[in-house]
A and B are shown apart, each in its own frame.
Chain A
Amino acid sequence: MSSARATDSASLAPAELRTPEARVAGAMSGFAQEIGALSAFRLESCIHCGICADACHFYIATEDPQYTPIWKVEPFKQAYKREASAFAPLVRLLGLKREVKAGQLAQWQHLLFDSCNLCGRCSLICPMGIDVAALIEQARHAMFDAGLAPKELYEKAAHQQATGQPEPSAEPYRDQLQAIGARFGVEIPLDKPEAEIMLCVPRTDIEHYPSAVASLARVMQHLGRSCTFRSDGLVAENYGYYAGGKQWQREISLRLIDQAIACKAKILLVPECGHAYAALRWEAAELYGKPLPFKVLQVTEFLAGELEAGRLRLGTAVTGAATFQDPCESVRKGGVKEAPRMLMKAMGVELREMKNHGGFSFCCGGGGGVLDIERAAPLRYRTMETKLREIDDTGAATFLTSCSDCRRTFDDAQAHFSWNKTPQSLLELVAANLTGAGRAI
């Protein structure tokens, strides 16, 4: 199994200092504690048909059986059968399922992190209806507890949990935001004591796509809605989610939740960042312990709402034929499928859909933290080829998306493959085509 490469010490998080036995015990107890009736039911329902492999771009690109999505939770299924299933005592007594060993679990790091984008396409194909991606996410929690989160994800999660930013920066992000405002000639609403809408920002945009940050501010200015960024809750990304550190994911989410409550926001607006939306919209309340006292909206669904309400006025965009990359976390898994298309239609964009689009779109290949894992790059490039072919096949000149991680992944592909397309932000296209009062400079 090629997953042996995942056991390289460089891939292990600092918690590797624990003994392998303690690591495994931690992982298994974490998984057993978290399993719950629903996940147990999902594990028990699997009929070993292997059909989920045919939805996974890692399997499709390599035809390597180890990338079969349900196989990625095999050690956890084994642990569940031994520890918590209906006949667990019998399973242990007769030795029907072996105890999961440290070596085995370490091998699975490659399968759970390097070769899974948590994109959820596998959850659409299972004839038993199993949400395989949800099981994989749970397995990542146990891997984190075992000290087996990949180093890159672990370190970014640790830094973000401690400081609010996944990585150190030369200047604090709040200063960088203001500098972006000055550079693009747009007011950045920051640290208002009260606002109807709290904004947050992908650090990917601050570092790589400052025009997307300016575009968000510009669109909000156009709409005339009361809004603010908050210095103490700026970053949209959640590396706790990627690394599988549930407690850290909670603490990172709480920064934003606390700030939204502090400024009495009615809406927490998540910009173009798929996993940030998933973490806040579909997981944060559970970690918070009660329903959130505000709405969480992804920026395209918010703008589609503003369009319907007549507050967002858009002119015709000169894009030529365009295709759109559906971010898995917001579209397939998050339900924001129509909103981006409404916005494109309002701007007169001639949309040419890819062969697999909407809820069935292939992942960009960088989601789930895979883009951050250095050793995963060769496999990621191999996997991306299907996607790039689908984009090229549309014949569209313009390539849009609404996720900065997708954008970064395609930018990277452009450099790697000498590909001739540059991904563009849908939000930036909206900002560039505002009409009427409040139109951008």
Chain B
Amino acid sequence: MNLLDFARGPALKAAIAVFCLGVAWRIIAFALLRIRFDLNKPRASVFKYMAGGLLTVGSRSWPHREFIGRTGAGEALGYSYHLGLFAVVLLFTPHILFLGSLFGLTWPGLPSSLITVISVLTLTLFTAVLFRRVTNPVMRMLSNFDDYFSWFITMLVLVTGLAATAHIGAQYETLLGIHILSVDALLVWFPFGKLMHAFYIFPSRAINGALLARKGATS
């Protein structure tokens, strides 16, 4: 079994298992804690506060007018590299074929040359994000191993992917094997760190938004 076979064979299967079980456990673990129901009479109807939750899912995608001057640039940077990552993961034809082999569903992709440009841009933005994290006093203070390791492992996937596409440094099969191994590593790390925010972001906005809307509070 060569590196590529190992990476996309047993290593991938094991990584997917860790990913699925880990993510499920992270979510189930909340349910094992005390769930408190608010006994205070709501200001709004159930419909209204559920709608408030859904509205918050959208409204928190961009800062309120009152905050935009202070946070707009930082948030734009954050969303930009996320969009880049989504484009590379979901619109690169080999990725679509790979995902199709797993889920049986394919869709049209972007030309490889465009994906390469997006990848380089994303890589640049991702570097800027790290620079910001280490230079911004607030972010530096808040950051821990999880932040840096999650950044590192995502960057690794990006760099190895670019190297494989550009055939730089080794044979294509080896580069692809390394790239898939980096994806395996990301999947294994995913449930243990902040990458879980991918699963939390919309429920978090919706739940907190609904609870604020229940009181008629600003959200």
**Contacts from A to B (Cβ < 8 Å):** 35-38, 40-42, 44-45, 47-51, 53-55, 59-60, 65-66, 68, 70-71, 84-87, 96, 120, 123-131, 281-286, 288-292, 295, 331-337, 356, 358-360
The answer to whether A87 touches B74, judged by C-beta atoms less than 8 angstroms apart, is no
Verify if B13 is at the interface (C-beta below 8 Å from A): no
The answer to whether B74 touches A335, judged by C-beta atoms less than 8 angstroms apart, is no
Q: Contacts A129-B208, A129-B209 given: A50-B218 contact, CB under 8 Å?
A: no
Q: Contacts A37-B31, A85-B29, A337-B218 given: A65-B66 contact, CB under 8 Å?
A: no
**Closest B residue to A131 using CB positions:** B208
Q: Which residues of B contact A295 (CB under 8 A)?
A: 41
The answer to whether A54 touches B41, judged by C-beta atoms less than 8 angstroms apart, is no
Scoring B residues 193 to 215 as 1 if CB is less than 8 Å from chain A, else 0, what string do you get? 01011001101111111011001
Verify if B116 is at the interface (C-beta below 8 Å from A): no
Question: Which of A42, A44, A96, A358: most chain B CB closer than 10 A?
Answer: A44
Cross-chain contact of A86 among B26, B36, B61 (Cβ < 8 A): B26
The answer to whether A128 touches B35, judged by C-beta atoms less than 8 angstroms apart, is no
The answer to whether B217 touches A50, judged by C-beta atoms less than 8 angstroms apart, is no
Cross-chain contact of B40 among A41, A55, A126, A283 (Cβ < 8 A): A283
**Closest B residue to A281 using CB positions:** B40
A-B contact pairs, 19 of them (CB 8 A): A36-B35, A37-B34, A37-B36, A40-B33, A41-B200, A41-B203, A50-B138, A55-B67, A123-B212, A128-B197, A129-B204, A285-B41, A289-B39, A290-B39, A331-B218, A332-B218, A337-B216, A356-B66, A360-B66
**Contacts from B to A (Cβ < 8 Å):** 25-26, 28-31, 33-36, 38-41, 43, 56-57, 60-61, 63-64, 66-67, 70-71, 74-75, 78, 136-145, 147, 192, 194, 196-197, 200-201, 203-209, 211-212, 215-219
The answer to whether A124 touches B204, judged by C-beta atoms less than 8 angstroms apart, is no
- If over half of B's interface residues share one DSSP class (helix, strand or loop), that class is named, otherwise mixed; here it is helix
The answer to whether B204 touches A130, judged by C-beta atoms less than 8 angstroms apart, is yes
What 3 A-B pairs have minimum CB-CB distances, sorted nearest first?
A335-B216, A359-B218, A129-B205
Q: Which residues of A contact B207 (CB under 8 A)?
A: 38, 41, 129
The answer to whether B215 touches A65, judged by C-beta atoms less than 8 angstroms apart, is no
Cross-chain contact of B201 among A68, A128, A292 (Cβ < 8 A): A128
The answer to whether A49 touches B78, judged by C-beta atoms less than 8 angstroms apart, is yes
Q: B151: shortest Cβ distance to chain A, in Å? A: 11
Q: A128: shortest Cβ distance to chain B, in Å? A: 5
Q: How far is the CA of A326 from the CA of B145 in the complex (A)?
A: 41
Q: Which residues of A contact B67 (CB under 8 A)?
A: 54-55, 124-125
The answer to whether B40 touches A360, judged by C-beta atoms less than 8 angstroms apart, is no
The answer to whether A38 touches B36, judged by C-beta atoms less than 8 angstroms apart, is yes
**Closest B residue to A286 using CB positions:** B39
Cross-chain contact of B36 among A125, A126, A128, A286 (Cβ < 8 A): A286
Q: Which residues of B contact A127 (CB under 8 A)?
A: 60-61, 63, 75, 78, 201
